[in-house]
Amino acid sequence: MILGLSIATFTLVHVIISLIGIATGLVVLAGMLRGKRLVGWTCIFLATTVLTTLTGFLFPISAFTPALGTGVVSTIILTFALLALYVFHLAGAWRAISASCAAVSAFCTSVGTPLMPFWKGRGGT
């Protein structure tokens, strides 16, 4: 059990959050390419991506896996994205840092979610 949910149910919730993060990440990235700041979409993207990363750490861990490595990298990247947006308000170089972090974070989530079943099949967690 994880947070009172069976592992299967928790996994489903984790995947749904991940898929929302991927979808909103695509919307945010499209907005960035058009030079538009989509505040609401960005908030949802960051919230679901942070939740995806944090819930990923709650799964039983028996060894270091690519999923765990992706979670660590994603945590670092999301920290900079949140700092750029909410502390430094995209001033100066922080605008480019935010855009880069959002793109890398969307990539990490997009790659990690579909590959997870393959790692689980190989004994990963």
Q: For residue range 26-79, what is the model confidence (pLDDT) as tens digits?
A: 999 999 889 898 999 999 999 999 999 999 899 888 888 887 888 899 899 999
pLDDT recorded at residue 88: 96
Asked whether residue 125 carries a pLDDT value surpassing 80, the answer given is no
Q: Is residue 2 part of a domain?
A: no
Q: How confident is the model at residue 111 (pLDDT cuts 50, 70, 90)?
A: confident
Query: Cα–Cα distance between 28 and 17 in angstroms, integer?
Result: 16
Instruction: For residue 121, count CB atoms less than 10 angstroms from its CB and return exposed for 0-12, middle for 13-18, buried for 19 or more.
Output: exposed
**Is residue 1 in a domain?**
no
Please report whether residue 41 resides in a domain: yes
Tell me how far apart the alpha carbons of residues 36 and 55 are, in angstroms, rounded to a whole number: 30
Q: Is residue 47 part of a domain?
A: yes
Domain hosting residue 106, numbered range = 7-121
Structure confidence at residue 83 (pLDDT): 95
Question: For the chain, what percent of residues have pLDDT higher than 90?
Answer: 52
pLDDT the model gives residue 123: 47
Q: What share of the chain is helix, strand, coil (3-state, %, to 5)?
A: 75, 0, 20
pLDDT at residue 121 greater than cutoff 60: no
For the chain, what percent of residues have pLDDT higher than 70?
Answer: 89
- As separate numbers, helices (DSSP H) first and strands (DSSP E) second, the chain gives 4, 0
Contact 104, 50 (CB under 8 A): no
Total domains present in the chain:
1
